[in-house]
Every structure is written in C-alpha cells, then in structure tokens.
Structure 1
Amino acid sequence: MSTQPSGKIALVTGTSSGIGLSTAVLLAQQGVTVVATMRDTAKATQLETKAREAGGSIDVRQLDVQDDASISRCVHEVIQTYGRIDLLVNNAGAGYLGTLEQTSMQDLQRTMDVNFFGVWRVTQTVFPYMRSARSGRIITISSIGGLIGQPFNDAYCAAKFAVEGLMESFAPVAKRLGIDVCLIEPGPVNTNFVSSVISGLPAPGQDLQAIYGPMLESYMGKTQTRFATIGQTPEQVGQVILTAALGETPHFRYTTSETIQSLAAQKYVDPTGDAMLAFFEARLGK
C-alpha cells in the first residue's frame, strides 16, 4: 500500500560512498525522503551513520544499474511505497584508465555499461511515472570528462560524452512534458574513486609499457597535483547537486567550480579543438 508524503521523494543511485553518499545525506537534511540505492546494501553502514549524525532519514534499497530486473524491481517498490518519484539522481559510475590500445572490449563494455547504459536504464524506467505526473526532475552526474576528452580516459570519457549527448537531446522533450533535466559536471573530486581506478589499471605488455609508461607517469603526476590544489570534496559537489535539485528554475548544466567552468569555456571558444589538444598533450611530458 502506497503512502503520499508531502515532501519530495528522491531516488539516488550509487550512494555507498563519495558524491552519492553526500548527496543523499544533504537531501535528507532538507526534508527530502531519500531512497538511497546501491548494488550491495552491505556497504550502507557509512551512509546510515552519516545520515543519523546529520539528523536525516534515509531508505536504503538495492539497485544495480547494470541489471534490468534489479532496476525494475526497485523502482516498482518505490512507487508502491511512496506513490511517486519527484527527483532522480543518476550518480552510480565507474572509472577506467587506459588508452584505446590498452583497453579490452570487456573493459570498454563494462565502463560503458555502468556509466552510460546504467543511466539510460534507470532514467527509462523512472521517466514514465514522471511523465504521467507531468512533474519531476532528473539530475545526472556527468564529468568535465563528458565535455573534454582526457588522455588515458578513452573509455570513461566516451561514456560520459554519451551521457551528455543523451541528456542534451532528451531535455527539450522532457521539458515540454513537465520534467527538468540537469547535468552536473565535476572536475577533480577527492574520493576513493581515483585510487580505485588507478589500482585497476591493466598491466601493459613490455612493448606498450615502453611507449605509454612515461606518458602515463607524467600525466598522473600532473593530475594528482591538480587534485591536491583544486580538488573538491564530495560535500562541495553535493551542494551543487542540492541547488539543481531544489531550485525553482534549474539550469541544464552545472560545472561545480570556477576552475572547471573556465576550462570548459576554453573549449567552447575554440571550434578547431587545437587548444585543448595542446593543453593535454603538454601534460604527457617531453
């Protein structure tokens, strides 16, 4: 039997850590009823602890963005319990480091499946309920890597570019039906996301190591320096998501810092693409 809470009902994916966890807690603090989903609910302890400390209440449920049945079941149960979904936050994602030559089809498919097809699946499942209500908001966590391709992020950036294309195409139609669509584009964020990506870097063969090893070392050294100097916290990104989620007239795009906004602007003013190519090539060393 469904209930009809007076406040907003939000479904957030990928909430076991990082941006998703912070977003779920911040929304709950604002009185939003948050259905916080994750692939493995055994990892919910940190989220539940932080929510209690913040004075919020969170409903943890299992949802795997790579599993159609899991998505369908979770969304159906949320509708049965609460009667509607006012806000969807597509946050679940996974990184991958490696050039085109180093990336297997299996790794490419996994990266695309989590970051792009996962967003497609969840949005496609939730949207009919929003359309019927002629109301709702869909927020998807993209990346500066969805606007600007970056070395050794071939598969990840491909997936995020696809997300950007999907949502930019979908947004006008959704708007006509009463639903707002927003993209959040963070730059460096200090979470365990990067360390887990680095630890999963495939071991190249000796010939590829000789070619790519020095470039990767230079690039990662400069990248880690940027994280140390301009990296944001998950809470800072969560505050931007909160603005998009609760504002009366949300923008379509939100870059999460002035530094990232400035970097994106450099691409927009150079239709040749040469400036961005030179910028990132310089980070590969001599």
Structure 2
Amino acid sequence: MKSILITGAASGIGKAAAELFHRKGWYLGLVDINEDALKALSERLGSCWYQTLDVTDSAATAAAVADFAKLNGGKINGVFNSAGVLRMGSFEQIELTEHRRTFDINVMGLMNVCHAAFPFLKETKGAKIINMSSASALYGVPHLASYSASKFAVRGLTEALNIEWQKFDIHVCDLMPPFVNTPMVTEQDVTPAVVKRLGVNLDPDDVAKAAWTAMNNQAVHFPVGLQFASLMRMSKVLPAKATRLMMDVLSR
C-alpha cells in the first residue's frame, strides 16, 4: 500500500486531499495543529496515522515524519505540503508578527517537512512531493503581499528541488490555485478588490483532485482551474508590463 503524509490535514484542502487519497486506497499520515479536528477526521476515516504538529517546530516535525515512515518500512511514497495561512489587508496595516508568521508556516514549515522527509523519500521508488503554491506566485498580489511573497518562495524552492532531487528519483512539484472556498479565504476581516473581481470559484475538492493528478504526472507546476490556467498561458506570451497592468486593474 502506498503512503502519503499530508500537512494541514484537519480542514480545507488538506482534509479534502486526505479523503480522496483514502478513497484511492493510500495509507495516510495526517498532521495538523488542530488536535480536535484532526482526531475527528482520523476516526472517521480509520486506518490512518495522525499526530498533532506545528510544522514550524523543526525537531517535532522530524520526529513525526520519522514515526510515520517507520510504519511504512522506512519509506514514504508522497508528501502533500498543504499547511498554510493567509492574512489579507494593506501591508502596512498588518503587524510584522503576522507577516513573519506567514513565512514561518508557509515557507519554513514546508521546508521543515521536506527536509525531514528526504531520507525516507530517497528510499522510495518514484517518490513525490506536492507543495501548495498559489496563483499569487505568478505576480505579486496587492493586499496579499506577504502571502504572495511566501508562495513565490514555495515556487522557487519547488523548482530548485525538482532539479536537485531528480537524481534520487524524487519528483517535486506544486499546485497553483487561485482563491479557494475555505475558511482561510472566506473568513478574512477584509476582502480585497482582486478577490471580489476574480471570485472564489474553487472548492477544496478541486484542489484535492489536482493533487491526485500531480501525484501521477511529471509536470512541475499545476495551475488549478480554467480561469488561472488561461491567465498563466497569457503571462507566457504577454510582456511583464501587461501582467502588472492586469493586476493593477483587478486590484482597484
């Protein structure tokens, strides 16, 4: 049985991915900081391993990943780095502690998991890491400045590790969805113009399906949804100035 470790598994995209991979017959390793929601999910699904985890704690992350790998003979077939946070609003009106938290979870937390999983992934034929990037990694999004910057970092890390780790038969890729109907998006204190104009047109299940596609594909970047896939294709042929103008208009 193939195994996958999913971070941020207690809600949203991570939860939808856990449910999908469970239906596909994979053995799940579920981690999240929300203990109650994580326990409820694991009990409902059954036959899975779970542990409460703050991915920004590198030592705890390493221990958790090793514990999960032990159950699979020291191997892990896949990792889905779904844990993340988002804070919308004007950059200067958001406390620096919030900006730092965004990077701690979205970037360093993801790096902690990748680093901890590497020894077990390299022992597994055709291992895969799927990182949650975002449509906001295509061009910096106003009022999502630190979130957008964190997803640029995820995109860059994904591209670098995709090349570095190919010699170990580890494929690293990312998902790039626009706004998804999760509490992280819908329960914000403010709703930027770009969100209102583009809309929230994806559900967690849409991104989970993209993760399943990515697990069985060798591409590096996976735009999610027809809307963003079209924008991404346009960005490849239009000059950067045009992309900036489009983002400026959408943000007014």
Do they fold alike, i.e. is TM over 0.5?
yes
User: Deviation digits for residues 144-194 of structure 1, max 9, x if unmatched?
Assistant: 011221110110001000010111111112112111111111112111111
Could you say what secondary structure the match of 1:82 adopts?
A: coil
Could you say what secondary structure the match of 2:71 adopts?
A: helix
Map 1:149-188 to 2 at 5 A: 149-188=140-179
Q: 1:250 to 1:13 in 2, by over 3 A?
A: same
Could you say what secondary structure the match of 2:9 adopts?
A: coil
Distance, in Å, in 2 between the alignment partners of 1:43 and 1:104 is 28
Structure 2 equivalent of residue 239 of structure 1: 209
Structure 1 equivalent of residue 118 of structure 2: 127
Assess if the C-alpha contact under 8 Å between 1:9 and 1:34 holds in 2. yes
Structure 2 equivalent of residue 270 of structure 1: 238
User: Deviation digits for residues 43-87 of structure 1, max 9, x if unmatched?
Assistant: 2255246636xxxx4322222111112201211211222222110
Partner amino acid, structure 1, of 2:232: A
Report how many residues are paired.
251
Alpha carbon RMSD of aligned pairs, Å? 2.0
Distance, in Å, in 2 between the alignment partners of 1:283 and 1:225 is 6
Could you say what secondary structure the match of 1:117 adopts?
A: helix
1:114 aligns with 2:105: yes
Assess if the C-alpha contact under 8 Å between 2:49 and 2:68 holds in 1. no
1:12 aligns with 2:12: no
Assess if the C-alpha contact under 8 Å between 2:31 and 2:38 holds in 1. no
Distance, in Å, in 1 between the alignment partners of 2:120 and 2:28 is 17
Could you say what secondary structure the match of 1:37 adopts?
A: strand
Assess if the C-alpha contact under 8 Å between 1:150 and 1:157 holds in 2. yes
Shift of 1:88: 0.5
Query: Highest Rg: 1 or 2?
Result: 1
Structure 2 equivalent of residue 226 of structure 1: 198
Q: TM-score, normalised by structure 2?
A: 0.92
Distance, in Å, in 1 between the alignment partners of 2:33 and 2:165 is 28
Shift of 1:134: 5.3
Q: 1:81 to 1:48 in 2, by over 3 A?
A: closer
Shift of 1:121: 0.8
Shift of 1:254: 0.8
Q: TM-score, normalised by structure 1?
A: 0.81
